[in-house]
């Protein structure tokens, strides 16, 4: 080990602390030992060894939350980080990683409002009186229940007592906020008269409507129109809050979004507060965004939880950049925000790209072959949960590896490529793969599966 540590200088690694070099050398030695144990008697202290030492010493290659290529066809894939940020959002967040005008007024030099720009943009884009960002949409429900309903009662339709990923259950959220939940209606049907009966209780603080993320109830069902429920709430002086979940600002006519309610439409229907996610159909960083009546938003802001749930400066910058793209109009938002752009593609457009990609794979002369296949993607993250997105992809087959092992090899190697299984083949859905990523995948396949 001492000899290896001395040799670090010969490989320009002496700029790192000696203890860090020792740990890196030990990990690289483990690779050599494992190779020898597997029968590779040529493994030793060579260029590959020193390259691995260098990689262990560099921070970025070791970061586990590293870049992957989403080839699954699920546009907002929760396990792959949901919405891919626009270039503008990435640049804004990177710029905000240094000293920034976060809570200071440039004109006066006095303290400013951290989220002022985002609040103003939210109001402009939705037509609301005011806006407020917190760290995710689950937090908005907790905040609304706590700020408006603590020590009082919150009315929710029984059909909307949902549970989403991570055991986030609506009854438990309301209880955690210190409010008492009053469920109305039945599992499949809630009528205006059910809400009217509940609102006779003076202890009711607000009515909540909840987007049924990840499922759809069909058949003998009923729910009141939002404008009818709004009128009833106003009659009783009780605010109406709608947790939209995904939230649509632009692109309501895009593939898969036909049944999603736009934010502005719900405000126009009479909702006093509406909340939605930043990292779903807005197409930006993770955030929970609340818009609505100024007095109610002010009540939320004054609640202690708001300080606990506030956004980091880099995320605020990314959200602001994303909102500014929306402010430029629908055409700009759809063309420059990756999630919306992917949802805008027709099946025929994707088929043309897929045909070229399949031909490029087969032209490489590797031990992986490809064929054009029809496939079905999804919006993802709870939006339009039962609607398929017709698409086309490349179905890959290896000469000796089965599909499960082939998929694993492409997940664990760099770049990490995540496809999906279909008919015992690994399918790369072209809806969620950019042109640059196609080139990266081709290079990866050539390196991993050379016929030689």
Same domain, 159 and 278: yes
Quick check: 166 pLDDT over 90?
A: no
Q: Tell me if 225 is assigned to some domain.
A: yes
Quick check: 53 pLDDT over 80?
A: yes
Q: Tell me if 62 is assigned to some domain.
A: no
List pLDDT tens digits, range 313-364: 999 999 999 999 999 999 999 999 999 999 999 999 999 999 999 999 999 9
Q: Looking at 316, 336, 356, which one is the last position of a domain?
A: 336
pLDDT given for residue 74 in this prediction:
96
pLDDT tier, 41 (very low <50, low <70, confident <90, very high otherwise): confident
Same domain, 350 and 317: no
Q: CB-side exposure of 10: number of CA atoms within 13 Å?
A: 8
Reading the block at residue 351, the tokens are 């088929």
Query: What's the mean pLDDT in 141-153?
Result: 97
Q: Name the β-bridge partners of 212.
A: none
The values of phi and psi at residue 281, to 5°, are -80, -5
Neighbours of 232 (CB within 10 A): 19
Query: What's the mean pLDDT in 63-67?
Result: 77
Q: Looking at 336, 355, 390, which one is the last position of a domain?
A: 336
Same domain, 91 and 76: no
Q: Tell me if 116 is assigned to some domain.
A: yes
pLDDT given for residue 361 in this prediction:
97
Same domain, 304 and 351: no
Q: Tell me if 36 is assigned to some domain.
A: yes
Inter-residue contact 13 to 54 (CB < 8 Å): yes
Same domain, 131 and 185: yes
Q: Tell me if 21 is assigned to some domain.
A: yes
Q: Could you tell me the CATH number of the domain that includes residue 422?
A: 3.90.1150.180
Residue 66 or 236, more confident: 236
Reading the block at residue 49, the tokens are 């060894």
Q: Could you tell me the CATH number of the domain that includes residue 275?
A: 3.40.640.10
Quick check: 406 pLDDT over 90?
A: yes
Same domain, 76 and 131: no
Question: Which range (8-22, 79-93, 276-290, 347-361) has the least confidence?
Answer: 8-22
Closest CA to 85 of 328, 381, 246, 284: 284
List pLDDT tens digits, range 411-450: 988 889 999 999 999 999 999 999 999 999 999 999 889 8
Question: Which range (160-174, 187-201, 271-285, 297-311) has the least confidence?
Answer: 160-174
pLDDT tier, 226 (very low <50, low <70, confident <90, very high otherwise): very high
pLDDT given for residue 60 in this prediction:
61
Q: Tell me if 121 is assigned to some domain.
A: yes
Same domain, 305 and 422: no
Inter-residue contact 391 to 350 (CB < 8 Å): yes
Query: What's the mean pLDDT in 112-125?
Result: 95
Average pLDDT, whole number, for the chain?
93
Cβ-based neighbours of 381, under 8 Å, separated by 6 or more: 76, 77, 78, 82, 246, 277, 279, 280
Quick check: 194 pLDDT over 90?
A: yes
Inter-residue contact 98 to 403 (CB < 8 Å): no
pLDDT given for residue 413 in this prediction:
86
Q: Tell me if 63 is assigned to some domain.
A: no
Same domain, 191 and 138: yes
Q: What is the DSSP string of 349-383?
A: HHHHHHHHHHHHHHTT-BSEEEEEEEEEEB-BTTB
Same domain, 312 and 355: no
pLDDT given for residue 120 in this prediction:
97
Same domain, 92 and 208: yes
Q: Which residues of 349-371 are buried (b: 16+ CB within 10 A; e: fewer)?
A: ebbebbeebbebbeebebbbbbe
Same domain, 105 and 170: yes
Quick check: 187 pLDDT over 80?
A: yes
Quick check: 177 pLDDT over 80?
A: yes
pLDDT tier, 61 (very low <50, low <70, confident <90, very high otherwise): low
pLDDT tier, 136 (very low <50, low <70, confident <90, very high otherwise): very high
Same domain, 119 and 211: yes
Count: domains in the chain: 3
Closest CA to 274 of 128, 117, 82: 128
Q: CB-side exposure of 171: number of CA atoms within 13 Å?
A: 7
Spatial distance between the Cα atoms of 399 and 397, rounded to a whole number of angstroms: 7
Quick check: 452 pLDDT over 70?
A: no
Inter-residue contact 437 to 69 (CB < 8 Å): yes
Q: Domain residues for 51? A: 2-57
């Amino acid at each position: 080990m001492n000899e290896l540590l001395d040799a670090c200088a010969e490989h320009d690694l002496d700029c790192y602390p000696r203890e860090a070099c020792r740990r890196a050398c030990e990990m690289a030695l483990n690779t050599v030992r494992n190779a020898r144990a597997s029968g590779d008697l040529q493994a030793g202290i060579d260029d590959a060894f020193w390259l691995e030492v260098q990689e262990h010493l560099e921070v970025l290659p070791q970061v586990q939350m590293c870049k992957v290529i989403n080839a699954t066809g699920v546009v907002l894939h929760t396990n792959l980080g949901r919405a891919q940020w626009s270039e503008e959002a990435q640049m804004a967040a990177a710029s905000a990683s240094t000293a920034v005008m976060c809570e200071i007024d440039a004109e006066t030099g006095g303290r400013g409002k951290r989220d002022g720009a985002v609040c103003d943009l939210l109001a402009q884009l939705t037509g609301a009186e005011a806006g407020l960002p917190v760290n995710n949409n689950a937090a908005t429900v907790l905040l609304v229940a706590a700020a408006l309903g603590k020590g009082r009662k919150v009315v929710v339709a029984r059909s909307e007592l949902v549970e989403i990923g991570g055991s986030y259950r609506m009854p438990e959220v309301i209880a955690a906020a210190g409010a008492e939940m009053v469920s109305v209606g039945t599992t499949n049907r809630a009528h205006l008269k059910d809400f009217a009966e509940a609102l006779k209780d003076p202890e009711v603080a607000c009515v909540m409507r909840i987007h049924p993320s990840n499922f759809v109830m069909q058949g003998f069902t009923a729910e009141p129109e939002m404008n009818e429920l709004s009128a009833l709430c106003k009659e009783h002086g009780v605010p109406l809050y709608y947790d939209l979940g995904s939230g649509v600002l632009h692109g309501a006519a895009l593939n898969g979004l036909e049944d999603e309610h736009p934010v502005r439409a719900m405000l126009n229907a009479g909702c006093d507060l509406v909340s939605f996610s930043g990292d779903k159909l807005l197409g930006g960083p993770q955030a929970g965004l609340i818009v609505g009546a100024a007095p109610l938003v002010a009540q939320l802001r004054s609640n202690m939880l708001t300080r606990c749930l506030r956004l980091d400066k880099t995320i605020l910058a990314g959200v602001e950049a994303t909102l500014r793209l929306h402010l430029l109009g629908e055409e700009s938002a759809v063309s420059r925000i990756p999630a919306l752009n992917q949802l805008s593609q027709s099946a025929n457009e994707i088929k043309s790209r897929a045909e070229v990609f399949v031909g490029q794979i087969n032209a490489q002369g590797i031990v992986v072959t490809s064929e054009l296949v029809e496939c079905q993607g999804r919006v993802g993250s709870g939006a339009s949960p039962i609607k398929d997105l017709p698409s086309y992809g490349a179905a890959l087959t290896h000469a000796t590896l089965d599909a499960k092992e082939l998929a694993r090899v492409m997940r664990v190697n760099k770049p990490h490529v995540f496809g999906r299984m279909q008919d015992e083949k690994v399918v790369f859905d072209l809806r969620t793969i950019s042109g640059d990523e196609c080139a990266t995948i081709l290079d990866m396949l050539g390196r991993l599966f050379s016929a030689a």
